[in-house]
Amino acid sequence: MASSRPIPPTSPAFWRSPLRGPRLTALLGVVLLAGITLLFVTGLLSYAAYNPDLAGGVNDQTPGKGLLGFYLFSWPTGPRWLYRLTQGVHVTLGVVLVPVLLAKLWSVIPKLFRMPPARSAGDALERLSLLLLVGGALFEFVTGLLNVQLAYLFPGSFYRLHFYGAWVFIGAFVAHVVLRMPRTVRALRERTDPAAEDDETGLVAVRPDRPTVSRRGALGLVGAGSLLLLVTTAGQSLGGRWRRTALLAPHGGADPGGGPNGFQINKTAAAVGIRARDTGDDWRLTVEGGGRRVRLTRAELLRLPQHEGALPIACVEGWSTDDQLWSGVRLRELAALVGLGDRPPGVLVESLQLHGAFRRAALSGSQVRDPRSLLALRVGGAELSRDHGYPARIIVPAAPGVLNTKWVARLSFGEG
Amino acid sequence: MRRVRMPGRAAAVRGWRRLRRHRWYGEGPLHLVLMLGSFALTGYAGVRLLAGGRWPLVVVWFVGAALLHDLVLLPLYALADRAVVRCTAGAGRRRSWTAFVRVPAALSGLLLLVWFPLISYAAGGAPAAHYELATGLPAGVFLGRWLLISAVLFAVSALWLLCRTVQPRRAVGRLRHRRRATKRRAADGD
């Protein structure tokens, strides 16, 4: 063309990178297929870990789930690091996949501007599905990344948006994977991309620029981005000395304070409205169940048999602590105080905290019966600090952190 | 577009299908089934996603995420990359500097993109106060850490470039030596 008019992005000649082609897209696509599948599965597991069906749905942030909860099962209490692992993988992998997702979207951007917008009804449907795919992927990554950084900018409850958003996304994802799989496999088998005139994918540039980086170099950059994110994030889920390496993770770097209570805090006492007079000498623990009720002072609790257990705290935000040495009264022995010691049922735990979605939380019967499940009074040989739940808190193996209720005021057995 | 491979069926059925496919749908039956299944799930989850009074905002977030990425973020970083290439292309130099600027800049930008809320807490304000109140951790540290990581990335890149610029002459000499040795070994082996 002799004309000097600028070429519009709807023209194939506008897209000049010699890197684009079915092979690059296929490679990135296969990485995303594996990564996003693992993200989806660990996400579903996290929902199951909340035991959302207990006690009429006290723990359930998406009670209208309907058929989408078809897979739910009673979350086990072992191994004790189970939720640490699944949720650490979910969040860390999500962070690490960001550059792969960006590169994948970059590799197919010419197709957004393809003309005509739809060649047929089927093509139009597929393009609508692609909007759900790209919008859904970005929506899930953005809401997840904002939530772990405590930046609650999204419109509504994180649980609702992230859970239902994932289902909207996964429908488009499965369709996309099935439709693109044959071409992806072929691209991975071929040693080179086809020439632009033979390329039916519309990815190969018809008027390529001189390369400024090889395809291997570009993939190396994506990999380096993932690696950099991994080493500056993973430490918040590994704990111990590794936490210091997590320079850009919300719970990376140093632990708050020192001593036995110097480990990560999800919400401080001040953040959820715990007042000093609520946790003083007037504090009583109410234990109910089987038509009986017992009220105990902290001194009385300390006179009951004390048990020790080393358990971690693992948050839905992906960070977790090493095992902390808790000591306190077994939940099943508290159930025995109201005559439910033989086969204790689940329990509804209520906190003193004034706000927070989990100031009431339910534990299952199997969680109550696990001998490691405690109403903890001490940690690491010291009194619990106010921020870790003084006068008493729940600690249950393998449960999400929010179910380890702090500042416990009431245990209602048989309502869990 | 991809075609679904037809199993050996009666030619009449095949012809009818092809006719329908080409006439209005344009794709195979598997495509239609997948699309319908996918949209059924989308609809079922979508009404739950959009339940509540703020559903227009959720739609804006969902569609806006795609538009913001495709029409703002991607063109911005593509333009920035083009500027880097133009400024560093090896006019008169033996080796282009492009990679030595592009790589640390891209990595630093990636960290900023992913951890922007955390990094922005250094500016103080309500979000930073909320982070500190919730976690008991200092909110202002992330900007410094990001700048430090970025500085290290650029420093490593600069050192690398320096080594590559200084070394070639010596490397050429070594390469010649090695080639001679290889040739000699090959000759011995024959």
- Express each pLDDT in A98-143 by its tens digit: 999 999 999 999 999 998 889 999 999 999 999 999 999 999 999 9
Q: pLDDT averaged over chain A?
A: 95
ipTM surpasses cut 0.90: yes
Interface of B with A in 6-25 (CB under 8 A): 21, 24-25
**Option in B35, B45, B131 nearest A68 (CB):** B45
As a whole number of angstroms, the distance between CA A65 and CA A73 comes to 15
- CA A165 to chain B, closest CA, distance in angstroms equals 6
Q: Using 50, 70 and 90 to split pLDDT, how confident is the model at B165?
A: confident
User: Which backbone phi and psi does A408 adopt, to 5 degrees?
Assistant: -70, 135
Query: C-alpha distances in angstroms, A298 versus A69, A391, A408?
Result: 40, 7, 11
Confirm or reject contact between B165 and chain A (CB < 8 A). no
The number of domains in chain A is 2
Looking at the fold, whether A275 and A231 belong to one and the same domain comes out as no
Confirm or reject contact between A156 and chain B (CB < 8 A). yes
**Option in A109, A121, A212 nearest B74 (CB):** A109
Please indicate, yes or no, if residue A5 is contained in any of the structural domains: no
Q: What was the pLDDT predicted at B188?
A: 46
Q: Which amino acid is at A221?
A: L
As a whole number of angstroms, the distance between CA A9 and CA A370 comes to 62
Q: Which amino acid is at B117?
A: P
Q: Using 50, 70 and 90 to split pLDDT, how confident is the model at B166?
A: confident
Looking at the fold, whether A205 and A325 belong to one and the same domain comes out as no
Q: Two tokens at A239?
A: 């704990």
Looking at the fold, whether A66 and A176 belong to one and the same domain comes out as yes
Please indicate, yes or no, if residue A265 is contained in any of the structural domains: no
As a whole number of angstroms, the distance between CA B36 and CA A126 comes to 10
The answer to whether residue A272 scores a pLDDT higher than 60 is yes
Looking at the fold, whether A104 and A225 belong to one and the same domain comes out as yes
Confirm or reject contact between A254 and chain B (CB < 8 A). yes
Please indicate, yes or no, if residue A380 is contained in any of the structural domains: yes
Please indicate, yes or no, if residue A55 is contained in any of the structural domains: yes
Q: Do B131 and A150 touch (CB under 8 A)?
A: yes
Q: Do B39 and A155 touch (CB under 8 A)?
A: no
Residue of chain B minimizing CA distance to A221: B103
Mutate to test the interface with A, among B24, B85, B135 (most CBs of A within 10 A): B135
As a whole number of angstroms, the distance between CA A100 and CA A91 comes to 15
Lowest mean pLDDT among A325-329, B94-98, B144-148: B94-98
Looking at the fold, whether A233 and A274 belong to one and the same domain comes out as no
Q: Using 50, 70 and 90 to split pLDDT, how confident is the model at A357?
A: confident
- CA A238 to chain B, closest CA, distance in angstroms equals 18
Q: Using 50, 70 and 90 to split pLDDT, how confident is the model at B164?
A: confident
As a whole number of angstroms, the distance between CA A363 and CA A416 comes to 6
Looking at the fold, whether A304 and A155 belong to one and the same domain comes out as no
Burial of A191 (0-12, 13-18, 19+ CB in 10 A): exposed
- Could you read off the pLDDT of A295-318 as tens digits, one per residue? 999 999 999 999 999 999 999 999
Interface of A with B in 282-341 (CB under 8 A): none
On whether the CB atoms of residues A166 and A137 are closer than 8 A, the answer is no
Q: Do A175 and B35 touch (CB under 8 A)?
A: yes
Which structural domain, as residue segments, surrounds residue A323?
270-413
Q: Two tokens at B13?
A: 């059925």
- Say how many CB pairs under 8 Å bridge A and B: 210
Q: Do A212 and B44 touch (CB under 8 A)?
A: no
Burial of B124 (0-12, 13-18, 19+ CB in 10 A): exposed
- Running DSSP on this structure, what letter comes out for residue B9? -
On whether the CB atoms of residues A11 and A52 are closer than 8 A, the answer is no
- Could you read off the pLDDT of B69-108 as tens digits, one per residue? 999 999 999 999 999 998 887 665 656 888 999 999 999 9
Higher pLDDT, A263 or B87: A263
- CA A155 to chain B, closest CA, distance in angstroms equals 6
Please indicate, yes or no, if residue A245 is contained in any of the structural domains: no
Please report how the helices A158-189 and B29-49 are oriented relative to each other, as an axis angle in degrees rounded to 10: 160
Among positive and negative, which fits the CA dihedral A352, A353, A355, A359? negative
Q: Two tokens at A375?
A: 């109403």
Looking at the fold, whether A112 and A50 belong to one and the same domain comes out as yes
Q: Which amino acid is at A315?
A: C
